[in-house]
Each structure stands twice: as C-alpha cells, then as structure tokens.
Amino acid sequence: MRSSGLPSDEVGIDPIFESAVAMKIQRTYCLLFTFMAAVSLSACKSRSFESIMHPTDAGQLGRARSVVLAEQVRPIDQPLREATLAILTLVDGLPEHAEIPMQRVYETLRTRGLNANKQAAAAVINEDKKTWKGEPYEQALLYLYVAMQQGMSGEWGNARAASVAALELLDEYDRYQEVSRNLPPTTHGHVVSQSDLALAHLIASIANRAIGRHDEADDHLERVEQIRPHLQPVTDQLQQGAFDTVLIVEMGAGPVVRRAGEDGAIEDLVTRWPSDDRLLVVSDNDGVVRSVPRALDVNAFANLYQWHGLAGLRRGKSNVGSMMTVGGAALLTADDDEARWVGLGLLLGGLLAKAGAHADDRSLTVLPQRYFVVPLQSSALSGPLELRLGTGGRGASFVVPALASTAETPRLIVVRVPTQEPVTSGLTGEVLYSNDASQQRSPGDDLPYILGGTCVMAPTHEALRKYQSAGNLLDLTTADLRELYRQEGIVLPEDERPGVPPGAHVLEGGRSLAAPVAGSLGFVRLFCSRHPPYRPRSEVVARLAHEIGSLRTRTTMEIEQ
C-alpha cells in the first residue's frame, strides 16, 4: 500500500504492521552502514608485504624473509609471495635456497592465460581478484632474477634462456604498444630482439661466454653498444674475457604502485629513490679500480613498461558509482516508499561500483632502483672492495670482503647495497665470524658461537677438529656437537629442505646456519659486523657455555697472576 502522506490512523495501517515496516527499514539501514564500513575497510587494506620495506631498505633481509615466511596470503597473492621470497633469498647470497621459489616464479611467468577465467570478475568486481603476475617491468626483472639465480648456481645454460625470455617478453609488449626501434641485425645474427634492456643483454652475454657460445655473447654486447654506448667500458672488458668475477650491484629502492584519484582508480607509480647518472666507483686498497655506468634505471623502465589496460574501465566505474550514490542519496529523502527503496538500491550499487574501481596496487616492493654490472679480475684486486655511488645527491656505500676465484667459469655475485645506515656504517671487510662460505679465520673461532666463540660453521667433523686442536670440547664427538645444536632448535644443513628459503640466521637471533656466498649482502651483514653474544635456549647448552666461560676466566686470571 502506498502512503498518501497522511497520519497512519487515517489510511488504516495496522500499528503492528507499521512497527514491522519500521524495523525492516531500520535493519536495511544497518545493513547499509555495515556494507559501507566493509567497503571502507576493503579500500584501506594495506598492500601485501609493505611491512618489509623498511628492513629490506636497511639490509635486514633475514628479518624481512622471516616476516614473509610467516605471513598467510590469499592463493591469488601466492605468486607475489614467492617472488618476494625468491629475491630476498637470492640477493642475501643464498642462491641454492632460492631455487624452489624461483622455479615457481618462472612457472608463473611462463603460464599463458593465467587469469583467463577471472577477467570478468576483474572487470565487474575488481582487478585484485586476479592472480598476481606483476607489471611487464616486474615480469622482465623476475626473468632476470631467475637468470641471476641460475648463474650464481653455475647453471649458465638456464641463465641464458631466462635472460632471453625477458627480452622476448618486452618485444611482445613493444609490438602491442606499436613501438619499433628498427635496430640493425647483429654481426652473427644470434640476437633478433629489438629490446633496449641492456641488463638482459649483458647477462645473456656473460651466460653465453660461460658455455662457450662466444659469437652469441659478442652479438649481445654489440646490441648493448647500439642502444647504450655509454656502457662501452663494461662491454669492452666482457668481450676481452678479462674477468673471472661479475658483480651485479643493486642500489636504491625501486618504485611502487600507489592508488590515486577518486576511489583510488589511478595507478600512480611512486618513485622512492631519485634517478641520476652517477657512476659506481669501485676501489680497493690501491685506489680506484674502475668507475662503472648504470646498466638500468628501474624508475624509467617501470614508467615505460606498466600495464594500463583497465584504467579506463576503473574510471568509468568510479564515475558511474558516484552518480548512482548521489542519485540514491537524493531518493532516500523522498516521501514515497518505493522511491526510497529505489534510492537504497542505487546507493548500494553505487558504493559497490566505487569499491570495485580501485587500482590493483600489489607491488614487488623488494626491487632496487638501479643496477650496475661490474666485471672484475679477482687476482688483480688488493684487499676488500668499496662500492660507492659517485659524488653528489643521495648516496650509498658498501664494503665487500676480498674476493678470490680459481673457477674455470665466471663467478656471478649479486650485491645489494642497503639504502639505510645500520648495515653500511663501520664496515671494513674483515671477517669476524668463521663460516662455511669462506676459509678466513676469525679471533675466537676455537669455539662455536653457541658456546661463546665466533665460529658459525655447521657442526661437522672438521669444525670439531678445529675446536679440539685448540684444546676445547675434547670430550665431545661430532654426534654430541650436533645434538647441542638440535637442543637449541637450530636447523642443521642436512635437516634443511633443499631449495627452501631459510629464516633468520643464528647471528641474528634466528635458527639458520645457512652461509651466504662471499661478497653478498648476507655475508657482509652476518660475518663482517659484530653481533650480541648468543643466548642459549636449552639448559644443557647454557650449562656447558657457563662452564667454558668460567674455565676461561680462571685461566685468564692465572695467566695475569
């Protein structure tokens, strides 16, 4: 029955019925406000893994990795989690532990039609209903991380394939965008890609040279000289083969996507570290070894290779939603019941449209802002290496311990330089904790770290022999030593799952003994800076550490007397 605007008793409405209608309207408004609150919370939901941006920038990659390992994510965000873990593990100097997440990243990148059955939901509801695969620039860089991981593991054939896959991806995107560079063919005809991603060509060249494909390696260098002539000092050394070690140095914090505009419908690429043309200055004890130009500016690269396919649809949903909410709100004030119900429907529909208009702001937050490729002949180096961004502007520096190589094929090391001070300050390249990644000894390494010493080698027969040759732990067998670690909950190498990223290292208060490769950020952070003494978790280790400490104190006092 429609209302005439008269008092209820004049139109014959039953008071009980009137009360029921009022309660129904009240419930409807409660539903409306609940819906609006849910929409608000959904719109304000933080992006995945943004909490690790600060520890990552500070070089605390073990801590960042622990956060990602512990976080529960939606199935559609799982590829972003795997990609984040893979990069954090690789740039921390643990290529073997990055194997499984990197394989999963590669499988995701190679999967065509990953979101074919979700396009309708993405268009009607929201983009973040799709399985994350990354922007084109993120996909290309992920292919290069696969190549780096394979190169660090000595699998140069796979590294070659992954770097070429990055070039093919960008060629496909360029064709879609109708970008044509008309680059001339290379001398030997091995490089057909028109992409100007110099970093991919450089990695492909290094990989080809490592497996004896010298003509193809030279073709990739020729392409780099065509598109980035300022990199000639790098390409000349690579072409001459005058190197046994290649550092891929990462600096700065890469860009991230933020929502902007009404309803967050615009994907705004935010720069976190400014672009510039400063050189990377590499020095040893004898002075400057070389100054290297930048191989890739991720800010510029991301601006060119960002997907905007649904931007118009998002803006359309936002505009339609705004009109529906304005119209619906106006109808809610009408005297006519049917008009109010129509208004409520319009308002709800408008709010739903606006809630689904926001951009997908899931970002790979662990990318750097720039990359340098540094070929080195380790036998010509004197002592530790200092990596410093040229003078002026926002800077960063890092000290890499002395590098030595006797391998027949090139050695690849990814070096992430933190953007914050805690890791970079006060480092000299001196190894302070004996470990399984280098042969260098450290003062106090005649005892394990868990018993008050400075040795974080795995509890093997060789490690025990070192302790016993110094007169320590003479009553223990290797099995006894290993049991002490198990009592502490420390994961031994044989108990690790192959290819799985570890959590924080024992030196950081964690339970891992995984030793990053020499020269990496993980190696420097763990073994070249001081850490607090170990705090035993088990009674047996606490008692033994106390006995050893007391004995050493008595011995010192006797010597002084």
Position 281 scores a pLDDT of 94
pLDDT digits (tens, 9 = 90+) for 249-285: 999 999 988 766 565 555 778 899 999 999 999 999 9
Ranges under pLDDT 50 in the chain: 1-46, 117-126, 422-426
Residue 505 identity: H
**Phi, psi values for residue 95, rounded to 5°:** -60, -35
Kindly report the three-state secondary structure assignment for every residue of 390-434: CCCCCCCEEEECCCCCCCCCCEEEEEECCCCHHHHCCCCCCCCCE
Q: Where are the domains of the chain?
A: 245-419, 449-560
Token output for 25 = 């309207």
Is there a contact between 106 and 146 (Cβ–Cβ < 8 Å)?
yes
Q: Which residues pair with 386 in a beta bridge?
A: 283, 399
* Pairing assessment for the beta strands 296-297 and 287-292 based on DSSP bridges: unpaired
Instruction: Specify the pLDDT at position 260.
Output: 62
SS (H, E, C) 273-321: CCCCCCCEEEEECCEEEEEECCCEEHHHHHHHCCCCCCHHHHHHHHHHH
